[in-house]
């Protein structure tokens, strides 16, 4: 399994610790930045890169971390094919993955602990997409993306 990961300066420490957590699970990590937590990076570009990797299937999913997770999720969802979900607790991540099949997990480092981030990540990685009645719903999302490109 291969996961792309990125953050802003607020999420840098959590990103770095998650990289080690993922490595312990034998997951290959593609770090899309930043390389340091010293100054605010251009987080929109990082979100775009992670979301593009996930949407294109070049990785099995993406993880984005900022202070709240909101900015990263908004930016990632602008990428066609990305289904980014902001999940700062376990209930949301369970259904975001099983029902919506999010391919980009967004979290807020100023909202949750490192331990909670690891629990959320574990659930996101382990829970399967339910398929079935949710497949037509995802198709409608894809159709909306195509429709909105013409606006």
How much of the chain, in percent, has pLDDT values that exceed 90?
A: 93
* Contact assessment for residue 117 and residue 11, using Cβ atoms and an 8 Å cutoff: no
The SS3 assignment for 150 reads coil
Residue 39 clears pLDDT 90, i.e. is over it: no
CA-CA distances (angstroms) from residue 78 to 20, 63, 109?
A: 29, 15, 22
Identify whether 66 is a catalytic site residue. Answer: yes
Q: List the domains of the chain with CATH numbers.
A: 2-149 (3.40.1400.10)
- 24, pLDDT greater than 90: yes
Choosing from 66, 87, 106, 151, which is the catalytic residue?
66
**pTM for this structure?**
0.97
- CA dist 63 and 126 (Å) reads 14
Interacting residues of 25 by C-beta distance below 8 A, sequence separation 6+: 125
User: What does the alpha-carbon distance between residue 3 and residue 25 come to, in Å, rounded to a whole number?
Assistant: 12
Which pLDDT does position 37 carry in this prediction? 85
Go through 136-146 and write b for each residue having 16 or more CB atoms within 10 A of its CB, e for each that does not: eeeeeeeeeee
Rounded mean pLDDT of 51-63?
98
């Amino acid at each position: 399994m291969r996961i792309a990961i990125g953050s802003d300066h607020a999420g840098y420490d959590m990103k770095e610790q998650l990289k080690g957590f993922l490595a312990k699970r034998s997951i290959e990590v593609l770090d899309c930045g930043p390389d340091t937590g010293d100054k605010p990076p251009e987080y929109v570009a990082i979100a775009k890169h992670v979301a593009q990797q996930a949407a294109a299937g070049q990785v099995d999913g993406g993880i984005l971390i900022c202070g709240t997770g909101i900015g990263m999720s908004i930016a990632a969802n602008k990428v066609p094919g990305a289904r980014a979900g902001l999940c700062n607790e376990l209930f949301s991540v369970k259904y975001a993955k099983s029902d919506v099949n999010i391919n980009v997990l967004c979290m807020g480092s100023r909202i949750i602990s490192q331990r909670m981030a690891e629990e959320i990540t574990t659930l996101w990685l382990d829970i399967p997409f339910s398929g079935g009645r949710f497949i037509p719903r995802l198709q409608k999302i894809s159709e909306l993306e195509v429709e909105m490109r013409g606006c």
